[in-house]
Homo-oligomer: A and B are copies of this chain.
Amino acid sequence: MKSRVPLSVEVLRGSVVESQHQVLAVVVDERAVPVLFWGNVDYLTFPRSAIKMLQALPVLESGAAEAFGFEARHICLACSSHRGEKNHIIGVAEMMKKAGIREEQLVCGGHYPANEATAHEMIRRSLQPTPIINNCSGKHSGIIATCLHLKENPEGYDKYAHPAQVRLRKVLSEVTRFDHNKAHYGIDGCGILTYAMPLQNMAIGMMALINPKESERRRVAGKRIIDSVRHEAFYLSGTDDFTSDIIQKTHGRAIIKNGAEGVFCGVLPEKGWAFAVKAEDGNTRASQAATAFLLQKLGVLNEENQTSLKKYLEPKIKNWKGTEVGSIRVKMPS
């Protein structure tokens, strides 16, 4: 299963392919060698939130997590794109209190939660979406906590020259083996910088979480992150969401993270492999279907998962009345 042609994700209405997506995927082994790929492994794009577990490494490696007494759920929130549910916000508030962070220090902006019930409750109560509600508030709290622990002024932590960004570039360059000081960068939805890199380097970076080459400190940090995400997967995303569901239902055999514009990155701890997925057009229905397909192909999903994850393995399209009107299928290049 090595092809320079991407996966094709077809969206059917009745028996007709109505829309189609091209999705690139690459899996690397413990030597950081691509063992499976569809599409150009050097495809340059932004990882967005899919590498938040890597962006959280400094929170552990700096000693900030230990110093502030972050528990597993807080570490998971530092890696999360949470859906704004009550327990997510309580968790981030705990992180902020432990580290002494004020909400006005978060530069991420506000938006209503992805979780519809929570969003509707906020609207009913006329509550405005403040930065702590932003799906990235845990990541921002982790970055600021690291600055505070290291006695750095956190102000401007989103700017290129700030010590927090310098540190992130250093760590990301090491784990992805791609020089982030020479990388093109853009501003993410939450204001933090995101650096463009080849797809296979995202997968190589993820390997650091389970098989780091750099140092014992990195090994311990990676293990703590993976353990936290495995045990508190709700805090990585939320209720009834693909990312949390995959981790929970596979009992951590697959640890995955979504990113905006159709990116997924993940590790398979038992196999010692890592992967990265990108829908060329940025569509999440496509990258999600392709990620489920990839996990299936790699034998990560057991018999029980064929049932518990069926809605992701054989996605259906429904209309406003709830009638099934179509489906999504993934096709390998012939």
Contact = CB atoms under 8 A, between A and B. Distances in A.
Interface of A: 11, 13-16, 18-21, 44-46, 107-111, 120, 123-124, 126, 134, 184-191, 194, 196, 261-262, 279-283, 286, 319-323, 325-326
B13 A108 contact: no
A184 B109 contact: no
Contacts of A14: 184-187
Q: Specify how many copies of this chain sit in the oligomer.
A: 2
A188 B8 CA distance: 23
B325 A190 contact: no
A196 B19 CA distance: 12
Contact of A319 (B44, B188, B283, B321): B188
Shortest 8 CB-CB contacts between residues of A and residues of B: A19-B282, A109-B320, A14-B186, A13-B186, A109-B321, A187-B325, A281-B281, A123-B123
A262 B320 contact: no
A129 to B, nearest CB: 9
B108 A326 contact: no
A297 B279 CA distance: 29
Given A124-B123, A124-B124, A321 B46 contact: no
B18 A319 contact: no
Nearest to A46: B18
A114 to B, nearest CB: 12
Contacts of A124: 123-124, 126
Given A16-B196, A184-B14, A321 B262 contact: no
A189 to B, nearest CB: 5
A131 to B, nearest CB: 9
Nearest to A110: B320
A118 to B, nearest CB: 12
A326 B188 CA distance: 10
Given A16-B184, A19-B282, A187-B325, 5 more contacts: A14-B184, A14-B187, A107-B321, A108-B320, A124-B126
Given A44-B16, A261-B18, A323 B191 contact: yes
Contacts of A190: 319-320
A194 B321 CA distance: 16
A67 to B, nearest CB: 29
